[in-house]
Chains A and B, each alone.
Chain A
Amino acid sequence: MAGAAGRVSGRPRALLRVLAGLRRYALPALALIAWELLARSGRFSPILFPSLVNIAREFGGLVTHGDRLAEAWYSLYRALGGFALAAAAGVLIGTLMGRSTLAAGLFEPLFSGTYPVPKIALFPLFVFVFGIGSLSKVALVFLECLYPIVINTYYGTRAVNRVLVWSARNMGATPGQILRKVVVPATAPFIFAGFRVALPIAMIVVIITEMIGSADGLGYMVIYAFASFQTARVLAAVVAIALLGLALDGILVAVRNRLVFWEKLESYYA
């Protein structure tokens, strides 16, 4: 009897667990249902509110056509190219600023003063300097991503516990060893925080620049579909961009959790 009662009470618990697991999808699901209801209500033109079925059909076409997948690849390599360059330079500059008052005095006014400037406004200038191809887009991504990475790294480096540095020094560690074994690991969570801010910026900048002046890429695809009022295709491309961004962030979090294993990040990917 007790066993039967346990089985009965076990089922609702399992159900509750499933429901709790599904809770995180409740709001997106509700939004999708509301969208579909509005699209099917007949109150709005399909140009403004295409149905999810049409968007899904366009999305299917996007992921199964080689030439359309190539557009995603163009955007991806531009975004990752600029991001990688910004990551390398940003960590270097940020660490230098954090460890040297001279470097901080040199760079801080520059970064603080130009941080609020909308770098995207410089794109026409970048086109004249670097050409209409990928280089101008990669350069702008680099510039936009550099700021959050430098600033996060800088403040992370400054926040390293001095006791740890002193202890390492007392134990005979060289400045290089202190940097490698103490400063960089202690700053890593900040560096990755900068990366996580910069990565979506990289995607946004690439898409915008491709929409302004490009003959390929997902941004070009959006503007191409938009020009002939194919809203379902525009939204399919937007979904692809969102999924790409989500995947990149997921990969970044996974890498971070592997490298910064002592301070794992609670995230929705876990």
Chain B
Amino acid sequence: MMRRAPFVCGVFVASVLLGAAGARAAEEPPLIRLGYGVAAEEQLWLMMARPDLAPNQGKRYRLKPIVFQVIPERFQAYVAGELDGGTAPGLSVIFARAQGVDVKAVASICQEAAGKDWFSTTYMAKDDGPIKTVKDLKGGTIAVVGIKTATDLWARAALLRAGLVPDKDVKLVPMAFPAVGPAVRSDKVGMGTFVEPFYSAEKAKGGLRPLFTAVEAVGYDHELLDLFFGEKFLKAHPDAVRGFLADYVAATGYYLANREKARRDIHKAGFVRTPLEIYLKNADWRRDFHGRVDVASLKKLAAFMLEKLNWLEKPVNVDEMVDQSFLPR
């Protein structure tokens, strides 16, 4: 009897500890495993750099950000059950939905918009070269950042507008952004895609001339990057998503109101490697204050991908693809 006492005590202590751990786990808010990228996602980076701007973090949700260099890998990780949501260009969400991936775009990160206040991805050629208009690209090559990316879509849209046939009249090759400037200058490609900070850096050097922007290529303002979540996660943890998006919209508001301070914080946290003085001067894409998705522009993009580019085998229902009900009202 005396020998059993320590055993009973041990079991009791273990039960109490396990019970406490279980209770703590039950109290913990849902974990959001979020795949994010390395360009143009300032509001999201700000939420990570400045947790004080995301008061719901730790209360209504916990955040586990996971960085990805390439878009398709983000969706593969999602399909493999390693992510609950992430960031992606609108057209990648369309591709994913076309292949039956159960994700929904829930908020906008940034948009390609016309106007002097915003940056729009720009295509440039050599100033003293033979390419003065898009039509002059016939027989040449355009550098885009990746096949079936937004940069590929805009280049193809511009070629079609100019009466040229992509792949037949003009080749499109993938090339990393830092390599595009030197490739255009050394005539390895006729025209290249430029985003910030490479656009400002190359413009400052001189010798390159813009031919068109992303907005001019398709003819309308449109979604560039969106936040997506898995449908199952949205159903299982609606309050966590609402809490996360409330913080996200608050961070967007802070970023838009205090752009320089926010950029300094983002830079200090290591999300941007461009020298600070250049980063602070860079023009920015348009970001919706409320994180609202421009659904009409996604519909136009989906139709263009289906009808003009043959990138989709069947139409994608964009209304079903976007769910903005989790955004703060």
Residues of A in contact with B (beta carbons under 8 Å apart): 45-48, 124, 127-128, 131-132, 212-216, 220, 223-224, 226-230
B95 close to A215 (CB less than 8 A): no
* A228 CA to B72 CA, complexed, in Å: 8
Contact A128-B95, Cβ < 8 Å, known A45-B79, A229-B75: no
List residues of chain A with CB within 8 A of the CB of B183. Answer: 127-128, 132
Which residues of B, 139-169, contact A by the 8 Å Cβ criterion? 141, 143, 146-149, 167
B171 close to A47 (CB less than 8 A): no
A213 close to B173 (CB less than 8 A): yes
Q: Nearest CB to that of A222 among chain B residues?
A: B147
B65 interfacial contact with A, CB 8 Å: no
List residues of chain B with CB within 8 A of the CB of A229. Answer: 72, 75-76, 95-96, 98-99, 101
The residue from B167, B176, B188 contacting A128, defined by CB atoms under 8 A apart: B188
A132 close to B141 (CB less than 8 A): yes
List residues of chain B with CB within 8 A of the CB of A48. Answer: 76, 79-80
- 14 A-B pairs in the complex with CB atoms less than 8 angstroms apart: A46-B100, A47-B76, A47-B101, A48-B76, A127-B188, A128-B182, A132-B175, A214-B174, A215-B141, A224-B147, A227-B71, A228-B148, A229-B75, A229-B99
Residues of B in contact with A (beta carbons under 8 Å apart): 71-72, 75-76, 79-80, 95-96, 98-101, 141, 143, 146-149, 167, 171-176, 179, 182-183, 186, 188-189, 311-312
List residues of chain A with CB within 8 A of the CB of B174. Answer: 212-214, 223
* A45 CA to B76 CA, complexed, in Å: 10
List residues of chain A with CB within 8 A of the CB of B179. Answer: 124, 127
List residues of chain B with CB within 8 A of the CB of A132. Answer: 141, 143, 173, 175, 183, 188-189
The residue from A45, A128, A223, A228 contacting B98, defined by CB atoms under 8 A apart: A228
The minimal Cβ–Cβ distance linking A67 to chain B, given in whole angstroms, is 10
Q: Nearest CB to that of A234 among chain B residues?
A: B72
The minimal Cβ–Cβ distance linking A208 to chain B, given in whole angstroms, is 13
* A168 CA to B71 CA, complexed, in Å: 65
The residue from B76, B189, B311 contacting A228, defined by CB atoms under 8 A apart: B311
List residues of chain A with CB within 8 A of the CB of B141. Answer: 132, 215
The residue from B75, B99, B147 contacting A230, defined by CB atoms under 8 A apart: B99
Contact A227-B146, Cβ < 8 Å, known A47-B101, A213-B174: yes
* A239 CA to B176 CA, complexed, in Å: 28
List residues of chain A with CB within 8 A of the CB of B167. Answer: 215
The minimal Cβ–Cβ distance linking B189 to chain A, given in whole angstroms, is 6
* A132 CA to B182 CA, complexed, in Å: 13
Q: Nearest CB to that of A215 among chain B residues?
A: B171
The residue from B80, B148, B175, B189 contacting A227, defined by CB atoms under 8 A apart: B148
B188 close to A131 (CB less than 8 A): yes
List residues of chain B with CB within 8 A of the CB of A223. Answer: 146-147, 174
List residues of chain A with CB within 8 A of the CB of B98. Answer: 228-229
Contact A47-B99, Cβ < 8 Å, known A128-B188, A223-B174: yes
Apart from A215-B167, A227-B72, 18 more pairs, CB < 8 Å: A47-B79, A127-B188, A128-B182, A128-B183, A128-B188, A132-B173, A132-B183, A215-B172, A224-B148, A227-B71, A227-B146, A228-B95, A228-B98, A228-B99, A229-B76, A229-B96, A229-B99, A230-B99
Q: Nearest CB to that of A47 among chain B residues?
A: B79
The minimal Cβ–Cβ distance linking A130 to chain B, given in whole angstroms, is 9
List residues of chain B with CB within 8 A of the CB of A47. Answer: 75-76, 79, 99-101
A128 close to B146 (CB less than 8 A): no
Q: Nearest CB to that of A227 among chain B residues?
A: B148
* A46 CA to B79 CA, complexed, in Å: 9
List residues of chain B with CB within 8 A of the CB of A124. Answer: 176, 179
B173 close to A227 (CB less than 8 A): no
Q: Which of A48, A127, A223, A224 has the most CB of B within 10 A?
A: A127
List residues of chain B with CB within 8 A of the CB of A131. Answer: 188
* A131 CA to B183 CA, complexed, in Å: 9
* A223 CA to B148 CA, complexed, in Å: 9
* A137 CA to B148 CA, complexed, in Å: 22
A214 close to B173 (CB less than 8 A): yes
Q: Nearest CB to that of A67 among chain B residues?
A: B167
B72 close to A128 (CB less than 8 A): no
Q: Nearest CB to that of A220 among chain B residues?
A: B147
The minimal Cβ–Cβ distance linking A137 to chain B, given in whole angstroms, is 12
* A216 CA to B176 CA, complexed, in Å: 18
* A227 CA to B141 CA, complexed, in Å: 20
List residues of chain A with CB within 8 A of the CB of B76. Answer: 47-48, 229
List residues of chain A with CB within 8 A of the CB of B96. Answer: 229
* A216 CA to B99 CA, complexed, in Å: 24
B148 close to A215 (CB less than 8 A): no
Closest 8 CB pairs of A and B: A227-B148, A215-B171, A229-B99, A45-B79, A228-B95, A47-B79, A215-B173, A132-B173
Q: Nearest CB to that of A221 among chain B residues?
A: B147
* A213 CA to B141 CA, complexed, in Å: 12
List residues of chain B with CB within 8 A of the CB of A46. Answer: 100
List residues of chain A with CB within 8 A of the CB of B312. Answer: 228
Q: Nearest CB to that of B95 among chain A residues?
A: A228
B146 close to A213 (CB less than 8 A): no
The minimal Cβ–Cβ distance linking A20 to chain B, given in whole angstroms, is 40
List residues of chain B with CB within 8 A of the CB of A45. Answer: 79-80, 100-101
Q: Nearest CB to that of B186 among chain A residues?
A: A128
List residues of chain B with CB within 8 A of the CB of A224. Answer: 147-148
Q: Nearest CB to that of B187 among chain A residues?
A: A131
